[in-house]
Chain A
Amino acid sequence: EIVLTQSPATLSLSPGERATLSCWASQSVSSYLAWYQQKPGQAPRLLIYDASNRAAGIPVRFSGSGSGTDFTLTISSLEPEDFAVYYCQQRFNWPPTFGQGTKVEIK
């Protein structure tokens, strides 16, 4: 199965700063990569699918890019509600697999 590695494990930033999260795949997943946000005690929420498409209702400050094995989630200007854990997920090969997560915390 495809292994996804996320970096960094923790990102310490202040509100208003730009956040850049990375996800590397052990083999090409083409553009079949999604990003989810999870806040403590809450269910995950789909942010981005197929590398760069925002899900319904997701603010424009969230953007995704990449293809093949290297992907990036960018939050252009962090809002207080954006401090959370972010997971990438591939759906190129069965079974779907997730990365281990990046925690974005308040500096």
Chain B
Amino acid sequence: EVQLLESGGQVAQPGGSLRLSCAVSGFTFRSYAMSWVRQAPGKGLEWVSAISASGDNTYYADSVKGRFTISRDNSKNRLYLQMNSLRTDDTAVYYCAKCPPGAVPDLFDYWGQGTLVTVSS
């Protein structure tokens, strides 16, 4: 059974930093691209970042480019999102999502339960 479990969400101050983690099981992690997708309170879904299976290629939404860094440790079956220079509009539930095989990580076939990031002074 595919499982994804996010952690690391908490309250942070504007300008602060957080690191989210996603522990995965039930599939061969090193073979699949992964993504982060967020959902602001009461709002829709917004793709944030993605990383290829090997970690060689990374992708970012314009809204987070230069502030967030996605990475992965295939030996530990973990996905990460380093979030710097946080803004109040980064407040959201952050989901990690598995991507099916493909040229680019643009489809999301399994999702974690999410971790809440609140940016507030």
A-side residues, CB < 8 A to B, are 34, 36, 42-46, 49, 55-56, 87, 89, 91, 94-101
Contact = CB atoms under 8 A, between A and B. Distances in A.
Given A89-B108, A98-B47, 18 more contacts: A34-B107, A36-B108, A42-B113, A43-B111, A44-B108, A46-B107, A46-B110, A49-B109, A91-B104, A91-B107, A94-B59, A94-B106, A96-B47, A96-B106, A96-B107, A97-B47, A98-B45, A100-B44
Nearest to B106: A91
Contacts, number: 49
23 contacts: A36-B108, A42-B113, A43-B95, A43-B111, A43-B113, A44-B37, A44-B95, A44-B111, A46-B107, A46-B108, A46-B109, A46-B110, A55-B109, A89-B107, A91-B104, A91-B106, A94-B104, A95-B59, A95-B61, A96-B106, A97-B47, A98-B45, A101-B44
Contacts of A95: 47, 59, 61-62
A96 B37 CA distance: 10
Q: By DSSP majority rule, is chain A's interface helix, strand, loop, or mixed?
A: loop
Contacts of B113: 42-43
Interface string B88-106: 0000000100000000101
Nearest to B102: A91
A42 B113 CA distance: 6
Contacts of A45: 111
A4 to B, nearest CB: 10
Contacts of A34: 107
A34 B109 CA distance: 10
A98 B95 CA distance: 14
A100 B45 CA distance: 8
Given A43-B95, A43-B113, A44-B95, A49 B107 contact: yes
B106 A98 contact: no
A25 B47 CA distance: 17
Nearest to A92: B106
A56 B46 CA distance: 23
Nearest to A44: B111
B50 to A, nearest CB: 9
